[in-house]
Structure 1
Amino acid sequence: TNNTDTNPRLCRSSAVAGYKQTLGADAPPACYDDLQQAQCIFIVGSNTAYAHPILFRRIEDAKAANPAMKIIFCDPRRTDTAEIADLYLPIQPGTDVALFNGMLHIMLWEGWTDAAYIAAHTTGFDALKATVRDYTPDMVSQLCGITKDDLLAAARLFATGATGDPARRASTLSLYCQGLNQSTSGTAKNAALINLHLATGQIGKPGTGPFSLTGQPNAMGGREVGGLANLLSAHRDMANPQHRAEVAALWGVPTVPSTPGKTAVEMFQAAADGEIKALWIACTNPTQSMPDQATVRRALERAEFVVVQEAFSTTSTCDYADLLLPATTWGEKTGTVTNSERRISRVRPAVAPPAETRHDWAIAVAFARQLEHALKPGQPSLFPYSLTDPAEGVEAVWNEHRESTRGRDLGITGMGYAMLEVAPQQWPLVEGQTTGKLRLYEDGIYPTADGKARFANTLYKPVAEPRGSRFPFSLTTGRLRDQWPGMSRPGTLGRLFGHVAEPVIQMHPQDMARRLINEGDLVHVTSKRGSIIVPAQGSAEIAMSQAFIAMHWGEE
């Protein structure tokens, strides 16, 4: 089947599409070292202090070492990350594209764009220029709910950094995460932000670039091997005939499916409709993490056969399993992971796995061999990886993936396990090279047909479900300091609940007073898709007509 999808579908697919639409490849062009070299850091759609705490410590260190560095923070809710910002933009939810287009409007008016870079290394700017002409400061400030002065300050800082001198171009690094990605206009948000970097030539240089922060460990690695329904290995597209032929030759099969498979959301809808009869779920808890929970649970109830491959039998999805396969945890595995800056690291087991567990890849290989035996008896196996020696098997899988990257933008043909045993390495790193690239596009050449980056003609679209008389609040979500997405692991540790012991809905105190809600009152929160009863908590961090519930809790 080609109906195979992974967690990046929920957290990173918009970032992938934004990079590919503008720069030509799913490849973050910046690196962590750029934090120390940036004159301005633009953080948008990310509570970095809680969601990426180690990275946030590096931002704090960079600010301490260079107090002149400016930090812009953009988020509807005033989180802990705002405390480090020189400029805080509390925009209305979903207005990011309007903000970015408005900033570009000001940069054009003030002459803060890099005309030489635009002419030499990009296409499509004239169409975007005509579009952003309409995004005047009056219009954008009203849409976003910020002042014109703050909008002007954001554009100035992005373009000129700490100098404030238009003649001295800034080095600006943008950091962004789920606030841009998890949206009906997520791709446009990503592309509109990248437009700002292309328009000012702030890419491929120290301290610059659009740097999308990965939501989960190895989300980058999952995409590298083709872990989305529309992808094949090494950033190949399933819809591309040449890409399919290359992968078929590598795998030793006549063809691969020509039609992209269903995404995770589409798969559950198809199972709920009876189109898909069986579901195999590995290393994820969709009865908590997927949107539209009613459809997800209906799909699991209707499916004729549900396999759950899990390390923790306490997850709510396990309740729907017809077959439960015990898998190893991260501390019991060997292999590699790739982080947000394209850096591949070796992972080694800290402890031996329990006797009856198997590694995820080994489960897949064993199942594939059973299928081969049933469907093609006597034929050589297409899965010749050692199951008796996991270390040997894992390296063989990695070597095959390495070969699949030959000639691709993420080429790693110059890497090997011996090199990774010494130190992590960034891609691309091809044969004949000794180190990978810190940052991409330093030469201004992009992986597109003409070698140029492409401006995306992004238009602001209102949120899919705006506030109204029946639903007068916008609900935002995010992470807590001491919890990880679905609590599968940290939810078993009581001490981690010392920060926030139970789910609450945070509201502006004036909204609570207007509705005669007191601190701690139980309130019935209803959307078009479901409802929940939680205690109310007043918070000045929340704007009027907005509310916040942390993302972690499910049935708990």
Structure 2
Amino acid sequence: MSDLLPTSPLISPVIKAGEPSLIQSTCAYCGVGCGVDIGVAGGKATSLTGSAAHPSNYGRLCVKGSNLLNTIDLTGRLLAPEIAGEQVSWDKATDYVAEQFNDIIQKHGKDSVAFYVSGQLLTEDYYLANKLMKGYIGSGNIDTNSRLCMSSAVSAYKRAFGEDVVPCTYQDLEQTELLLLTGSNAAWTHPVLYQRIERAKKINPAMKVVVIDPRKTATCELADNFIQLKPGTDGAFFNGLLQFLSENQGLDTDYIAQYTEGFELALATAASWTTAKVAEFCQVSIEELTTVYQLFCRSKKAITFYSMGINQSSSGVDKCQSIINCHLASGKIGTIGNGPFSITGQPNAMGGREVGGLANQLAAHMDIDNPIHLDKVQRFWQSPTIANKQGAKAIDLFDKLASGDIKAVWIMATNPLVSLPNRDKITAALKQCELVVVSDCVEKNDTLAFADVKLPATPWLEKNGTVTNSERRISRQRNAVLPAGQAKHDWQIIQDVATKMGFSGFDFNEVSDVFKEHAQLTQFENNGERLLDLSGLSQLTTKEYNELAPIQWPVNESYPEGCARVYADGKFTTPSSKAQFIPVAPQLPIQRTSTKYPFVLNSGRLRDQWHTMTRTGKTHKLSAHTDKPYLYLHPKDAQGLAVQNNDMLMITASTGQAIAHVKVDEKQRLGECFMPIHWNQSYASHGNVSDLYQSSVDPLSGQAESKQGAVALRKKAYKQYISVHTTSSLSLSADFWVKSTTAYGDTYQVALEESTADALLWCQQTTGLSGEWLTFSEEDKFYIVCLQAGKLVFLSYFSTNWPEIEPAWLEHVFAEEKLAFATIQSLLLGIASDEFNQGKQVCSCYNVGEKTIKIAITQGCSSVDALGEKLKCGTKCGSCKPELANLISQHKASPIELVTELATG
């Protein structure tokens, strides 16, 4: 175990009749897999903290995890089954789904149906979905949104090691000498791991951190070196590293000879990638490259930590492979602080990989194109058939929906209309599909609009099962409350439909029974052929399952307490037991710029939001930091487009359009822009970034190229801009709008192509509110307030520019039970009190604004710790620490200019 962090076994849930109970569960967000302690009283979750003993987070949580309980209300929940928009009983719903699937299979064959599932499912849900499709329907047509996240990493691991096994642990991040972060903004996407790295670097200042990314992100605040390479050139960077190792005594020739194959060809392919050639290709300096290459060469321990910036590419598998090649060549694998470490984006992407949730897998790390494996799985399942070829991967699956080859699809816990590239194509596919079944916990989203059948599934807090994190650690996700309404667990829904389709292999009484069967399949005739072996968990009783503490696989006779370190013996699961070098010829992205589309578009996550905002969008604490989709632009590009901060841009690609506000950002490369992935038609009229990407994929993994698009930009202006603040949600009809959650209700930013003739009438018709309406106008500005019994329920400002008003002040006045006359006057003038003028929120946990932080810097706070001591910012989840450090570095050298800025507003 790490000498940096304490460890102790997790306690089992403490439940006593009539008293508050403690439920230990797992966070619902990223692949870090943090443990959470949930206090429960009266059948409700009342508190949530990080589990101090959980080895993934040791009590830490990011701002998203800390706010989980603020996202669990029943607003917008799907609580009863529906067919064609009409509520029906569960019996009728599952009868209908089973009959329709059977009918379509009988008429058109087993490959005419498909499942599209999700890393949001628990392992038991995933297991039954895969079993039903591959072992009973007999088709490979089950794929997952994890295809969009980490399938390139899966393919590379399997190609190199013979099995999809992540060889590193989180402790390696703390115990390495050199950490390369590439294609990962861990400070925002995996904040808890970033905090562990930050703490390790404080304890060991000799530890070096290198960030390799086209954007200078928040993660760079921890970096000793930053390589801002041209997008899509990562494969060349690591080919250059391999070549540098061979020329600078960086090879471990004994390791290569004893434990690997194919080195000569891989090195020969990389030989032309001299440091000078890589520097030119990647558009970085020779000096920068040499420094980093020398660090890797001289360090005895090195971790390369990579995520979607590497994976989401039309050559993502080769990029992952180029990283693995360098670790094999230098022998930096299988020992403490060494290895190629891919980090997953979703909470159970790894669990889905275990059970065969991808269309090109079978189950339990067995291969769908291996006759021996097919026979094993079919005999174990005692199933009537078995899929004997790969099914349709995500992009292909929807292409086949569009062509009519697939006539029915069951979508579980995902929103492909937002997450898959080329939205228009996905829309057309769902429109013409004969049967669209959607299991979800929300009643409305972009995809549910096309559902013929809606099945209410349990969300986090109600779900019960297991998840596996990015270091192969299985944790229990225990339900803290009972399912709401008529919601059922996904495994139960799948079980019901399978049984009604006439299949007999789905008679499970408890979720623990499903897990036990999954564990038994990993053991079945394994004989040491696969590292995925849960035989040590295959006989768990329900009580033992309920009390299961986090554990890393393999778990078997050799490792009854689990296994942190794999491949330490140099034995891999290839036919020769040796790791495979694969030659890599770096490829540029398929989606390239042109005269028509001159800008490179990158996309990714924000600090406080998650996926399509189904959860995070519900809480104002997570909306305050970034309340709208921005397009981040280099200052010179902004100047060339004649735009500045908060102006609007029309973003056009060959596949579609989006509209976003401008964020001028000197950390972007010239000619490139960045847009977050989260906004969809529940929160923005034109904010879906996936509409701007083509359906370009890696030929091996099928993973979409979502880090490089080609777009044109032009300034977008409207005649009228409206800021709307209301205690109730609205159904807007406007040319442009963005919605975000506030403490008092919702706020909308609206833009109209033509000014409304009567602002007051527009407000009344839009809201349907009755009450005391007050207005004030000056020139082309209109200020409108609605009071009910003296309490503010609606406020809007109309202008020819975007109206701005201090959010903290609005939160204050909406909370007042009866407004004073002076406050009403201030509202009608749009003038906030100085005491509420905090500026942009930086710290979500303690609601600390940028202006407050800048004042503290002028008063002598010259470190993040000093700001935390004075203002508390950065002292809870720590997600804002990189931004705090950036503000300090911006202003501590010029305090006079900062004082002047604050004095002039």
Which whole-Å CA distance do the structure 2 matches of 1:508 and 1:476 have between them? 13
How far off its partner does 1:254 sit? Answer: 4.5
Which whole-Å CA distance do the structure 1 matches of 2:545 and 2:203 have between them? 33
Which whole-Å CA distance do the structure 1 matches of 2:656 and 2:676 have between them? 16
Q: Does 1:426 align with 2:552?
A: yes
Which whole-Å CA distance do the structure 2 matches of 1:432 and 1:204 have between them? 17
Q: Does 1:146 align with 2:281?
A: no
CA contact (8 A) 1:35 1:173 kept: yes
Identify which of 458, 461, 466 aligns with 1:328: 458
Which whole-Å CA distance do the structure 2 matches of 1:371 and 1:282 have between them? 18
How far off its partner does 1:276 sit? Answer: 1.4
CA contact (8 A) 1:177 1:213 kept: yes
CA contact (8 A) 2:475 2:548 kept: no
How far off its partner does 1:419 sit? Answer: 6.9
Give the aligned residue type for 1:260.
Answer: Q
Deviation per CA, 1:364-393: give whole Å up to 9, x if none. 000001000xxx7xxxx211112xxxxxx2
Which whole-Å CA distance do the structure 1 matches of 2:148 and 2:209 have between them? 28
Which whole-Å CA distance do the structure 1 matches of 2:339 and 2:250 have between them? 17
CA contact (8 A) 2:260 2:580 kept: yes
CA contact (8 A) 2:156 2:317 kept: yes
Give the aligned residue type for 2:253.
Answer: A
How far off its partner does 1:263 sit? Answer: 0.9
Identify which of 667, 681, 689 aligns with 1:541: 667
Which one has the largest radius of gyration? Answer: 2
After the TM superposition, which residues 300-339 of structure 1 pair with which residues of structure 2 at under 5 Å, given as runs? 300-339=430-469
How far off its partner does 1:432 sit? Answer: 5.6
CA contact (8 A) 2:158 2:164 kept: yes
How far off its partner does 1:253 sit? Answer: 2.1
After the TM superposition, which residues 202-351 of structure 1 pair with which residues of structure 2 at under 5 Å, given as runs? 202-351=332-481
Q: Give the CA RMSD over aligned residues.
A: 1.3
Which whole-Å CA distance do the structure 2 matches of 1:518 and 1:424 have between them? 49
Instruction: Give 2:239's aligned residue.
Output: 101
Name the structure with the higher strand share: 2
Q: Does 1:114 align with 2:252?
A: yes
CA contact (8 A) 1:345 1:420 kept: no
Instruction: Give 2:531's aligned residue.
Output: 409
Secondary structure of 2:305 counterpart = strand
Deviation per CA, 1:471-505: give whole Å up to 9, x if none. 11111111111100111111122332111111111
Q: Does 1:57 align with 2:201?
A: no
Instruction: Give 1:84's aligned residue.
Output: 222
Identify which of 493, 508, 526 aligns with 2:634: 508
Structure 1: gaps (5+ residues): 162-169, 387-392
Cα separation, partners in 2 of 1:122 and 1:80, compared to 1, 3 Å? same
CA contact (8 A) 1:244 1:255 kept: no
Give the aligned residue type for 2:250.
Answer: W
After the TM superposition, which residues 175-186 of structure 1 pair with which residues of structure 2 at under 5 Å, given as runs? 175-186=305-316
Q: Which has the higher contact order (CA 8 A, sep 6+)?
A: 1
Secondary structure of 1:28 counterpart = coil
Q: Does 1:451 align with 2:571?
A: no
Which whole-Å CA distance do the structure 2 matches of 1:255 and 1:22 have between them? 31
How far off its partner does 1:433 sit? Answer: 3.6
Instruction: Give 1:397's aligned residue.
Output: 514
TM-score (structure 1 length as normaliser): 0.94
Cα separation, partners in 2 of 1:278 and 1:245, compared to 1, 3 Å? same
Give the aligned residue type for 2:239.
Answer: N
Give the aligned residue type for 1:86.
Answer: D
Instruction: Give 1:19's aligned residue.
Output: 157
Secondary structure of 1:537 counterpart = strand
Instruction: Give 1:465's aligned residue.
Output: 591
Identify which of 495, 506, 514 aligns with 1:383: 506
CA contact (8 A) 1:4 1:228 kept: yes
How far off its partner does 1:76 sit? Answer: 0.4
Secondary structure of 2:310 counterpart = helix
Structure 2: gaps (5+ residues): 1-138, 685-905
Secondary structure of 2:651 counterpart = strand
Q: Does 1:190 align with 2:312?
A: no
Secondary structure of 2:144 counterpart = coil
Moved more, 205-214 or 407-416: 407-416
Which whole-Å CA distance do the structure 2 matches of 1:343 and 1:524 have between them? 44
CA contact (8 A) 1:486 1:553 kept: yes
CA contact (8 A) 1:175 1:213 kept: yes
CA contact (8 A) 2:239 2:270 kept: yes
Which whole-Å CA distance do the structure 1 matches of 2:617 and 2:515 have between them? 33
Moved more, 344-353 or 63-72: 344-353
CA contact (8 A) 1:75 1:89 kept: yes
Which whole-Å CA distance do the structure 2 matches of 1:136 and 1:357 have between them? 59
Cα separation, partners in 2 of 1:513 and 1:255, compared to 1, 3 Å? same
Q: Does 1:479 align with 2:479?
A: no
- Number of residue pairs the alignment of both structures matches: 535
Secondary structure of 2:678 counterpart = coil
Secondary structure of 2:516 counterpart = helix
Give the aligned residue type for 2:158.
Answer: K
Deviation per CA, 1:144-195: give whole Å up to 9, x if none. 111111111111112223xxxxxxxx10011111001111011001000011
Which whole-Å CA distance do the structure 2 matches of 1:472 and 1:432 have between them? 57
Secondary structure of 1:43 counterpart = strand
Q: Percent identity, please.
A: 41
How far off its partner does 1:426 sit? Answer: 0.8
How far off its partner does 1:420 sit? Answer: 7.2
Secondary structure of 2:575 counterpart = coil
Deviation per CA, 1:526-551: give whole Å up to 9, x if none. 11111112122210110101000011
Give the aligned residue type for 1:412.
Answer: L
How far off its partner does 1:553 sit? Answer: 1.0
Moved more, 487-496 or 354-363: 487-496
Instruction: Give 2:657's aligned residue.
Output: 531
Which whole-Å CA distance do the structure 2 matches of 1:331 and 1:518 have between them? 43
TM-score (structure 2 length as normaliser): 0.58
CA contact (8 A) 1:245 1:255 kept: no
How far off its partner does 1:517 sit? Answer: 2.2
Q: Does 1:125 align with 2:263?
A: yes
Which whole-Å CA distance do the structure 2 matches of 1:234 and 1:29 have between them? 17
Deviation per CA, 1:210-245: give whole Å up to 9, x if none. 111011001000110110111111111111111110
How far off its partner does 1:424 sit? Answer: 1.1
Which whole-Å CA distance do the structure 2 matches of 1:98 and 1:46 have between them? 18
Give the aligned residue type for 1:196.
Answer: C
Secondary structure of 1:284 counterpart = coil
Give the aligned residue type for 1:398.
Answer: F
